[in-house]
Amino acid sequence: MITRDKMYVNGQWQTPAGSGVAEIVNPATEEVVAKVSLGNEADIDLAVQAARAAFDSWSQTPAAERAVFLDKIVAGLEARTDDLADAITSEMGIPVMLCKGAQIGNPLFTFKEAAELARNYEFETDHGSTHVVREAAGVCGLITPWNFPLNQIGGKLAPALAAGCTVVLKPSELAPLDAFILAEIIDEAGFPPGVFNLVVGAGPVVGEALSSHPEVDVVSITGSTRAGAAVAVAAAPTIKRVCQELGGKSANIILDDADYARSVKGGVRLAMFNTGQACNGPMRMLIPRKDQAEIEEIALKAIETIKVGNPLEDDTYMGPLANKAQYERVLRFIERGIDEGVTVLAGGAGKPEGCDTGYYIKPTIFTNVTNDMLSAQEEAFGPVLCMIPYDTEEEAIAIANDNPYGLSSYIQSSDIERARRVGRQIRAGHVELNGARFDQGAPFGGYRQSGNGREHGQWGLEEYLETKAMIGYIPRKPKPKK
């Protein structure tokens, strides 16, 4: 049993003022593996004040020196990869085979990239007679989720530190163990007190306190659309910048000239990655109606390649859902889809064979889905793929855009120019063509109810910068007196 009864504020581990305790449950075993003390509004205020006091000095620290501190985080993450993998697998259930790449390798890349940006980004440029300065935006509140816990922390924390901001991090209280390890790494790296602060607590308590705090200049959240809206409402009275990376129901358009064997199998497996708990997952597969039977057969064979089970076994592809509440939500989603009249091609309600203990669910494919069904419009955040037949390319584009979200999309075609042409017509911030691997250095973020702002690369850095114009008026020399 792990006990985390301190928060990290102003360079010290301190007992929180809050009295609540969260039990961290391993979703594969349903056993409590850790107890974490929860903070409250007073803890947030203490952390924000520490970040405010540290801001002037840290923001004026040369960017090259900030890069050295980021290098130390990279070294610490590399040294503690096994500890982080154990923590993340135990707190949210991702198979260990996938954990070190997606859950640790990606944030490692992000911190390395932020260090390079700190060294090479042009924080000051000239525009005619005006000197334009990009400087730290201020104190940042970072609110992160449980599905990719360390990755989402990295996507916010790394660029914020590179920009010269000070931060208060509120990770999900359902999966905070990796954040404590990161705090230990930052402490050992010798960051100035107050630059980084960690407070764990419930969203309606510490999340709202952080979002509404008048001394916070920027708040960035990754979470549900509902949570993003709540943060924006809390932040509105103090007119702070709000960055939101929220939900999605991404379309994967299989065009009629695609390699079906490759693209359908890849689409099914990607939909089931991380047990479907990915806001950018390709959860609506749009398929040519004339080839529906062929595509469904390929999809069934693809499902058979997915091993569901113990996340500690090397050949497991899909572990449990991350927590009991999410397990129950996804079961309700499946049951409602059946009531709506979808055809269950694979899976369905109930646990997979041999998975009686743990929050396991069958990888599920709905077919004969129409885009007006709730199954097609709402995010399951679980391993439920909806197959939607279409007749023409124009109809496929219209279906893809007929959704309140706009985070990601996927296009499959043997003609890359056709794929790009279709991709340009999709209202989403992120388009992957023909199974391209996720580019961790490219801008990532959504349109519409998927949020605003971008993470990663220079676009992510610029979310934490303010722009100042210093207009270079040069007074005339006075005329000499006669």
Which entry of 243, 279, 355, 386 is annotated as an active-site residue? 279
Q: What angle do CA 299, 303, 304 make, to 5 degrees?
A: 120
User: Could you please report the per-residue DSSP string of 57-93?
Assistant: HHHHS-HHHHHHHHHHHHHHHHHTHHHHHHHHHHHH-
As a 3-state breakdown, the chain gives helix, strand, coil percent values, each rounded to 5, of 45, 20, 35
- Tell me: domain 251-433, CATH 2.60.40.10, correct? no
Three-state DSSP state, 186: helix
Q: Specify burial of residue 269 (Cβ count, 10 A radius: 0-12, 13-18, 19+).
A: middle
Check: pTM over 0.85? Answer yes or no.
Answer: yes
226: left (phi over 0), alpha (psi -120 to 50) or beta: alpha
The fold adopted by the segment(s) 2-246+446-469 is Aldehyde Dehydrogenase; Chain A, domain 1 (3.40.605)
**Closest by Cα among 359, 419, 415, 365 to 388:** 365
The tally of CA atoms less than 13 A away on the side-chain side of residue 325 is 4
Q: What is the CA radius of gyration of the chain?
A: 24
Is 279 among the catalytic positions?
Answer: yes
Which entry of 245, 296, 432, 455 is annotated as an active-site residue? 245
Is 294 among the catalytic positions?
Answer: no
Tens digit of pLDDT per residue, the chain (482 long)? 899 999 999 999 999 998 999 999 999 999 999 999 999 999 999 999 999 999 999 999 999 999 999 999 999 999 999 999 999 999 999 999 889 888 999 999 999 999 999 999 999 999 988 999 999 999 999 999 999 999 999 999 999 999 999 999 999 999 999 999 999 999 999 999 999 999 999 999 999 999 999 999 999 999 999 999 999 999 999 999 999 999 999 999 999 999 999 999 999 999 999 999 999 999 999 999 999 999 999 999 999 999 999 999 989 999 999 999 999 999 999 999 999 999 999 999 989 999 999 999 999 999 999 999 999 999 999 999 999 999 999 999 999 999 999 999 999 999 999 999 999 999 999 999 998 887 888 999 999 999 999 999 999 999 999 999 999 866 667 777 66
**Which residue do the tokens 């990009």 mark?**
134
Whether 167 contacts 465, CB under 8 Å: no
**Closest by Cα among 413, 424, 389 to 285:** 389
Distance in angstroms (rounded) separating the CA atoms of residues 365 and 343: 8
**Which residue do the tokens 């154990």 mark?**
86
Ordered by start, the domain boundaries in the chain are 2-246+446-469, 251-433
Q: Order of strands, edge to edge, in the sheet holding 124-127?
A: 124-127, 130-136, 465-471
Distance in angstroms (rounded) separating the CA atoms of residues 248 and 246: 7
